[in-house]
Structure 1
Amino acid sequence: MRSPFFKPSPSPSRSPLRFTPASSPMRHTLSESLVEENINTAESLIAEWDPSHQTSSSSSSLYRDRRPEAKQFLKSVKDLQAAMHFFVKENSSSDKLVRAQFLMQTAMKRLEKEFYLILSTNRQYLDPESISTRSSSVSEGDEDDSEDDLNFAGSGSESLGTPERTSPLSSATVMADLKAIADCMISSGYGKECVKVYKIVRKSVVDEALYRLGLDRTLTHSQIQKMDWELLETKIRCWLRSVKFAVSTVFYGERILCDHVFACSLPIRESCFGEITRENAIALFDFAESVGKCKKSPEKMFRALDMYEAIASIWPVIESTFSYDSSSAVRSQAVNALVKLGDAARLMLADFEVAIQKDASKLAVPGGGVHPLTRYVMNYLTFLADYSDILTDIVADWPVEAAVPDLSSDASPISARFAWLVLVVLCKLDAKAERYKDVALSYLFLANNLGYVVVKVRQSALRYLLGEDWVAKQEAKVKQYVANYEKMGWSKVLASLPEAQPAAEMTTDEAKDTFRRFNAAFEEAYKKQVGWVVADPKLRDEIKVSLAKKLLPRYREFYETHGAPLRRDTFREGIVRFAPDDLGNYLSDLFHGSEGSGSFSSGHSTSSSTGSSKKGRGH
């Protein structure tokens, strides 16, 4: 087919060229001229920005100083690519191909420099926090947006090559610039140079971000296991403050940036992201695994659970951020850390149970108060209950071997585990109660300690783990212990008073003997019990009210019937030593643990007299 621009001469003698339709040399000539024109156009712009020339362009930046030319520069590169393809196909020995290749190398050096400058001088727009919070709309495939971001307001009205006042940059603009350069260099066969620059700069950004977080990535397993616990705990606290930010912001932001810049090539972005983050991410979770391998002790339990919870809470982000096959080592390291921390928690929980069972303290708490073992165990369990969600995962396949009384049969494994630990300490307390020689005091000790357990359960997350039925059953046991204490501690006092008996049926001598027996029994009970303790104010008041209800009405009835005559006749003998109100005062002084805080008057008293009232009561 002939070219429309070619008109053959009617006479061969009038034309120096011989027309041979089969070869069509003029068509090739025209194509070459068009390609050469494109090369000339590209050369004028590329040469101006040749970084090897000692001109102002060598220290300036295309994207910073004359951004409108950036789009034209990329177009020139595409034109050079087309020219090179043309000459490779049509005339591979053409000197124009060599010229185009030289221009391409020059252009790539400029783009490599621009790529580096954008990465290194725009960190405020490329910091992980800014990137990670950006809209997910900046993702692979947004090529139209990338092209638009190269344009500036008013750029069409200004001549090419004239610096202009640009609108403020943004993360989206900077990321679009990087993507445009990366696309151009990769499609031109210079992806290796582009990737090398990107890895170097972004790796330093990630290193710096983690350094600022205070994470020590140089510690070995041996160093961690030999480290003093106070120092190690300090490093664990730093790790706990930093791990979520490191994963959800630093690594996640780097993944977004890498995926966007190298959207045109999955292998490249996978390789870049892996090389930039893998070492730091593995070190981050390796520290947690090393802590899980450290020597176990109950006080270390909570730090292990904190670390387990921290990793578990960000596991979806870990999976999505390190989803590449090249990042599988990071996911594996995070899983290993969870496994080791979970194993450590189970072992420390088992050790905690053994420590309770082996407690050999022979201390009998003065006054039958709350035992230190009870306080330690229940405070430990209340803190532990705050980790019930995490512990549910850890003990899911670790059932309690024995049946736990007072707990429903369908209780969860974690509920059964807590109920079992409480049962272990209560059994230990039963044995400790036997050390008290006074049976009444042993029951008061049990009431005090079980009451403390119930209060701690009600005031913490243990309430939801053990359930209201369990709590109600323990409260009933506390009441039974109190009833047993009252029976053993005050039965002699109550027995000294007659049951409801008419005054006429008791002689004066019988009344005197009754008062003497009551005085002796009450004084004995009071002197013995004034040093006893009920730590819980509510339980203390309940016991006092219960004693008063049992004792005062019977004494008041007897006192009103026989007390008045005897007070007149036996003043010196001190037969009637207590008025009913005096008994109430003495009872109110019990269970504060202030042994010997009061004394009894040797003279008789009346309800209005202060002579027989106990003095010096410590209220």
Structure 2
Amino acid sequence: MPKKGMRSLWFHSKTSSYSLSPNSSPSSRPSHSTRPIPRSTSFSLDSAMIDQSIEAAAALITKWNPDSSSYANVTSLFYESKVEAMQFIHSVNNLQKAMHALVSDNSSSSDKLVQAHKLMQIAMKRLQKEFYQILSMNRAHLDPESVSARSSRASARSSISDYEDDDDDVRPAGASIEEVEEVSSIAMADLRSIAECMISSGYAKECVSIYKIIRQSIVDEGIYRLGVEKLSSSQINKMPWEVLELKIKNWLDAVKISMRTLFTGERILCDHVFASSDSIRESCFTEISKQGATILFNFPEVVAKSKKSPEKIFRVLDIYTAISENWPEIESIFSFESTASVRSQAITSIIRLGESVRAMLSDFESAIQKDSSKSLVRDGGVHSVTLHAMNYLSLLADYSNILGDIFADWPQPAKSSLPESYFDSPQSDESPVTAISMRIAWLILVLLCKLDGRAKHSKDVSLSYLFLANNIQHVVSTVRRSNLQYLLGEDWVAKHEAKLRQFAAKYERLAWGKVIASLPENPTAEISSAEAKEIFRKFNSSFEEAYLKQGTLVVSDPNLRDEMKVSIATKLEPVYQKFYDKYRPTTGRGVRNARLFVRFAPEDVGNYLSGLFLGTIEPVDCGSSPSPSSPSSHRRRERSRR
């Protein structure tokens, strides 16, 4: 809980209130009897020294009394003469010592003490005016960005000086940087001098009131310009996602700027100006920054409590990442006990965001399991749920560090609802198992089980295996080209590639096994002409049937497509070539008679197979190849020669 307010920390109950205007008249000030003199070390001043201090202070203070001199009223002491300004501060400090000496010496004249109090009131009014003017006139040089970047400017100036002999164009920029830094440093030093003088003289309240009014307006304006606004859960829930996403993007920019410049600059400035009092700088910074910071870090909590959708997870993770990455700055800037509520709000937002992410991933898992699309994908290609799920998971992998934090203590899902055969792919010792890697592996497992269930509903078993091969290939290729490979490990990839090969082999056996079986194991073995004709007939029929059926199917991945075509061709073409070369002449004389038994030349078989898995074919008709290029032209050339 924050400490009590600034007033209870260091304001005496009898201290007068401060009027905003720095030009308030001395008559509005309390008499010396109501203004307690701050305790200080005891002084031993003789009467002559006391008189000398009062006289010296009177001369300078009267000169710069804004109520008695029109020149003093319109002129800034600190801008007019820095030397005289420092003399003024020194005189006030000496006056304060004289007052302490007068109070401690009961025999001293009360007239001198009254005179000193009146001079002190005039001096404080002058310093209030100066403090206000410096803060107001230097808003551009004391803006949080300028203050927070002072060290960066110093580094930049050092770098520029290294190259100033080589590049004349750099010097004007360097000069401008130096000028900005110099003005900022001078203003900060002047404010600190005034603040220390007023605090030590018992006028802390008046000094801080001016400071807080001006600086809080700068912070409030900064928060407003960054687009940060206080929103309720009901307002968030009524927003279209496009509008909320835009506000989240604005917030992400705002938190970066506010932590690097706005609040950092204010903390640096406040610590510098009120370095003489820990309690004052804490109370002052808290009052200036607490409201804006609370609004800033409340927004993530409101977003986390809004309606959840798996698609929103990435923006929620962006917010979580922003708070997590800025946490060291949050702790440092808002380190006071009185700003503990700001830290608490940031932590609460982190917790709520984590809960939201876990809920959205659970919803994503449910969406996969409840997917009601009946289609197996008629061409055996990659299912839309696979495309969506793997794209989603590959994007999630980019947040693996953050997700690791979120799921570190989250229980792993039960495996009882899925087939045991799917649990044979744990990570190897080389790929350490983490909470998020297990969670991602689980979600892919849920996806594969869903696809397996889809495949079982197909009446065409070969198509179901091609479907599984295509989809697991997409899963594996997505893992390999994303950060998922680092989460799941090579062992996981290798085992799923083995499953892919099993599916592809089963497809080949079921879809092309009859064609392969139609040819003899020994294509050059001696057989009769009738037996050769029967083999040609079976091959013609089975090859045409398989081609027309399988030619409409798709293998999306080009590497897998080539591997499958090569595997089928390797088992068919060499055997058919040898059989064709030996037994085609035995099928009868004349082209027409031979074509009754031999419909495909070895070249045609190769061309037909090369056109597989692209999803489009032409029907095989009277020995003409569906391929628009070489097979048909080859046949035409062959017929013309005959």
- TM-score norm. by structure 1 comes to 0.86
1:416 maps to which residue? Answer: 438
Deviations 1:149-203 (A, max 9, x none): xxxxxxxxxxxxxxxxx99843222211111111000000000000001101110
> Which stretches in structure 1 are left out of the alignment for 5+ residues?
1-29, 139-165, 615-619
Q: 1:225: Cα distance to partner?
A: 3.0
Contact 1:129/1:249 (<8 A) preserved: yes
Distance 1:414 1:220 in 2: 32
- Tell which structure's C-alpha radius of gyration is larger: 1
Q: 1:136: Cα distance to partner?
A: 11
Distance 1:188 1:273 in 2: 22
Q: 1:565: Cα distance to partner?
A: 4.2
1:155 maps to which residue? Answer: none
Q: 1:354: Cα distance to partner?
A: 1.3
2:31 maps to which residue? Answer: none
1:515 maps to which residue? Answer: 536
Matched, 1:250 2:262: yes
Contact 2:426/2:492 (<8 A) preserved: yes
Contact 2:524/2:579 (<8 A) preserved: no
Q: 1:604: Cα distance to partner?
A: 11
Matched, 1:593 2:615: yes
1:302 maps to which residue? Answer: 314
Deviations 1:205-233 (A, max 9, x none): 111122221222x3233322332222111
Contact 1:530/1:590 (<8 A) preserved: yes
Q: 2:565 aligns with which of 544, 548, 562?
A: 544
Aligned AA (1:172): S
Deviations 1:339-384 (A, max 9, x none): 0000000111111111111112112212100000101110000001
Matched, 1:524 2:549: no
Structure 1 stretch displaced more, 85-94 or 75-84 = 85-94
- Equivalent residues in 2 for 1:211-610, closer than 5 Å: 211-216=224-229, 218-402=230-414, 404-408=423-427, 411-503=433-525, 505-566=526-587, 568-569=589-590, 571-572=592-593, 573-594=595-616, 596-602=617-623, 610=633
Go from structure 1 to structure 2 and tell me whether the alpha carbon gap of 1:567 and 1:171 turns closer, same or farther (over 3 Å shift).
Answer: farther
Q: 1:37: Cα distance to partner?
A: 2.4
Q: 2:132 aligns with which of 116, 126, 141?
A: 116
The alignment-based identity, stated in percent, is 55
2:94 maps to which residue? Answer: 79
Aligned with 2:556: secondary structure?
coil
Q: 1:125: Cα distance to partner?
A: 2.2
Q: 1:395: Cα distance to partner?
A: 0.5
Distance 1:601 1:455 in 2: 41
- Of structures 1 and 2, the one with the larger relative CO (CA 8 A, separation 6+) is 2
1:19 maps to which residue? Answer: none
Q: 1:525: Cα distance to partner?
A: 0.5
Distance 2:261 2:377 in 1: 54
- TM-score norm. by structure 2 comes to 0.83
Distance 1:370 1:445 in 2: 7
Q: 1:566: Cα distance to partner?
A: 2.9
Deviations 1:59-101 (A, max 9, x none): 1111112222111000110121122122223345521211111
Deviations 1:30-53 (A, max 9, x none): 932332222222112111111223
Contact 1:574/1:604 (<8 A) preserved: no
Go from structure 1 to structure 2 and tell me whether the alpha carbon gap of 1:460 and 1:391 turns closer, same or farther (over 3 Å shift).
Answer: same
Distance 1:535 1:100 in 2: 94
Distance 1:309 1:257 in 2: 28
Distance 1:603 1:167 in 2: 84
Distance 1:604 1:533 in 2: 19
Distance 1:85 1:294 in 2: 62
Aligned AA (2:319): M
Matched, 1:131 2:147: yes
Matched, 1:187 2:200: yes
Distance 2:275 2:547 in 1: 87
Matched, 1:197 2:220: no
Q: 1:415: Cα distance to partner?
A: 0.8
Structure 1 stretch displaced more, 564-573 or 202-211 = 564-573
Contact 2:65/2:123 (<8 A) preserved: yes
Distance 2:499 2:579 in 1: 34
Q: 1:570: Cα distance to partner?
A: 5.4
Distance 2:228 2:480 in 1: 40
Go from structure 1 to structure 2 and tell me whether the alpha carbon gap of 1:325 and 1:167 turns closer, same or farther (over 3 Å shift).
Answer: closer
Aligned AA (1:40): E
Cα root mean square deviation, aligned: 2.3
Contact 1:601/1:611 (<8 A) preserved: no
Aligned residues: 554
Go from structure 1 to structure 2 and tell me whether the alpha carbon gap of 1:502 and 1:81 turns closer, same or farther (over 3 Å shift).
Answer: closer
Q: 1:568: Cα distance to partner?
A: 3.7
Aligned AA (1:115): F
Aligned AA (1:198): Y
Distance 1:566 1:55 in 2: 127
> Which stretches in structure 2 are left out of the alignment for 5+ residues?
1-44, 155-178, 416-422, 638-642
Contact 2:515/2:542 (<8 A) preserved: yes
Structure 1 stretch displaced more, 31-40 or 297-306 = 31-40
Q: 2:190 aligns with which of 167, 177, 187?
A: 177
Q: 1:116: Cα distance to partner?
A: 1.0
Go from structure 1 to structure 2 and tell me whether the alpha carbon gap of 1:613 and 1:115 turns closer, same or farther (over 3 Å shift).
Answer: farther
Q: 1:55 aligns with which of 62, 66, 70?
A: 70
Aligned AA (1:84): M
Structure 1 stretch displaced more, 507-516 or 566-575 = 566-575
Structure 1 stretch displaced more, 446-455 or 119-128 = 119-128
Go from structure 1 to structure 2 and tell me whether the alpha carbon gap of 1:133 and 1:94 turns closer, same or farther (over 3 Å shift).
Answer: same
Aligned with 1:316: secondary structure?
helix
Distance 1:580 1:610 in 2: 14
Deviations 1:457-494 (A, max 9, x none): 00001000000000000011111111000100001101
